[in-house]
Amino acid sequence: MTDTPELPDPDTAPASDRRAVVRLRPERRRRGFGPWAYSDEVVLDRRTRALAPGSIVTVEDSERRPLATAAFNSASKIALRRLDADPAAEIDGGWFADRLARALALRETLFDAPFYRLIHAEADGLPGVVIDRFGDAAVIQPNAAWADTRLDALVAALCDVTGVTAVLKNAAGRARSLEGLDDASGMVRGTLDGPVAVPMNGAIYLADLAGGQKTGIFYDQRPNHAFAARLGRGRSVLDVFAHVGGFGLAALAAGATSALAVDGSVPALALAAQGAEASGVTDRFTTMKADAFDAMTALAGEGRRFGLVVCDPPAFAPAKAALDAGLRAYERVARLGASLTEANGFLVLCSCSHAADLTKFREASLRGVAKAGRQAQILHVGGAGPDHPVHADLAETSYLKALFLRLD
């Protein structure tokens, strides 16, 4: 058994080298250092294991050449997260401000109003960090230890750069537990008076930033809402797994004759109804509190058909271990959705599962459509909006799939 090499003693190193060093193992095949390094790709000796989760370190290759500045967490499967190409970069308030300003410039180019995802983790240079903006308020998810321990500096820079006055920390979700972090959410700056009105695709949505799912609304579906809304003009719409009415309200704003929103959450449907009222479409909007599978089965049994059916479920396959079961669930959703779609109507099927790539999701969906005795044309394949940029070296940042089908 080969002894694991020890790092140089920082007490005897030059001052410029006293920041902790973490070295990549020689068997790591990728040259240089990408956005991540897993725990089995780095040298984990006594000194590195003693580093506090979220420590800022200099990464070296196996020949001791400096590669980058990174955040280190020996307790996480993702041991290193690249922060800066400069091995000596200072991760301070100015560094945060630069990253935020760059992200803000892109969003201000893309959108006319300050309602968008401002930071999309690695793709915006802040690994493990998600920030959604709602006008003068923002919700931040510091899903990596390095960001959680520097939350005060990040929030201060966020307020300085964007001008937001209320910031809520959302600590829910599997990602934080994998980093060894707590699940304590709450306000870290300013106050919120209740749900926030969000204008999007001609409709008004009500987002509960403190008590809703994720950050309160799903900005990633914005372009898919818009595409579906065009298909729903002059048609009846069934919006399954509706949350706060994303697809249904957009379709009504574009001229759908009616929309039925189905969801298992009473609070989400209440927000959807408030959004319908704010959008002036209450007379064409109804809700159904029910399990989605039960509701679709019952509606099919009643002989109901809709011109546009949209199914946007939660992640059925969030990890590889759940892939087979998840694909079966997507197939079932497609079968039930197809049975509720009128002839020459449209069926929209969505997946936010990281483990189910587009090919697997499409195959499962089309199997379900075929089992319903329907034939489909694929009109369009959608993804997340441009405020959710994709990191070129991380397929995981391209997670959302939306299939737009026209049925026989």
pLDDT at 10: 39
pLDDT level of residue 300 (50, 70, 90 thresholds) = very high
Residue 49 inside a domain? The answer is yes
| Same-domain check for residues 229 and 116 | no
Q: Which of 84, 107, 124 is the last residue of a domain?
A: 84
Residue 174 or residue 257, greater confidence = 257
In terms of Cβ atoms closer than 10 Å to its own Cβ (0-12, 13-18, 19+), residue 171 is middle
How many CB atoms are located within 10 Å of the residue 403 CB?
A: 23
Contact 8, 44 (CB under 8 A): no
Contact 109, 103 (CB under 8 A): no
| Same-domain check for residues 219 and 358 | yes
Using the predicted structure, report yes or no on whether residue 33 has a pLDDT greater than 90.
no
| Same-domain check for residues 350 and 282 | yes
- Identify the active-site residue in 159, 311, 350, 352: 352
Tell me the residue ranges of DSSP E strands in 17-134. 21-23, 36-38, 55-60, 66-72, 78-84, 115-120, 129-134
Q: How long is the chain? A: 408
First to last CA, the chain: 65
DSSP of 306-340: EEEEEE----S-SSGGGHHHHHHHHHHHHHHHHHT
Q: Which of 84, 102, 127 is the last residue of a domain?
A: 84
pLDDT at 160: 98
What is the extent of the structural domain holding 146? 93-189
- Dump pLDDT digits (tens) for 75-134: 999 999 999 999 999 999 999 999 999 999 999 999 999 999 999 999 999 999 999 999
| Same-domain check for residues 347 and 206 | yes
Residue 5 inside a domain? The answer is no
One-letter identity of residue 340: L
Contact 352, 221 (CB under 8 A): no
pLDDT level of residue 27 (50, 70, 90 thresholds) = confident
| Same-domain check for residues 237 and 374 | yes
Residue 105 has which token pair? 């410039």
Q: Which of 156, 189, 222 is the last residue of a domain?
A: 189
Q: What is the DSSP letter of 366?
A: H
Name the average pLDDT for the chain.
92
Is this model's pTM higher than 0.85 or not? Answer: yes
Instruction: Specify whether 352 is catalytic.
Output: yes
Residue 53 inside a domain? The answer is yes
Cα angle 367-299-353, degrees, rounded to a multiple of 5: 45
Number of domains in the chain: 3
| Same-domain check for residues 141 and 211 | no
pLDDT at 257: 98
- φ/ψ region of 14 (left if φ > 0, alpha if ψ in -120 to 50, else beta) reads beta
- Dump pLDDT digits (tens) for 182-209: 999 999 999 999 999 999 999 999 999 9
pLDDT at 211: 83
| Same-domain check for residues 200 and 184 | no
Q: What is the DSSP letter of 368?
A: H
pLDDT more than 70, % of the chain: 94
pLDDT at 31: 53
CATH of the domain at 78: 2.30.130.10
- Dump pLDDT digits (tens) for 381-407: 999 999 999 998 887 678 999 999 999
Contact 330, 316 (CB under 8 A): yes
pLDDT level of residue 1 (50, 70, 90 thresholds) = very low
Contact 351, 335 (CB under 8 A): no
| Same-domain check for residues 278 and 371 | yes
Cα angle 126-106-71, degrees, rounded to a multiple of 5: 10
| Same-domain check for residues 345 and 395 | yes
Task: Give the separation between CA 365 and CA 408, rounded to whole angstroms.
Answer: 16
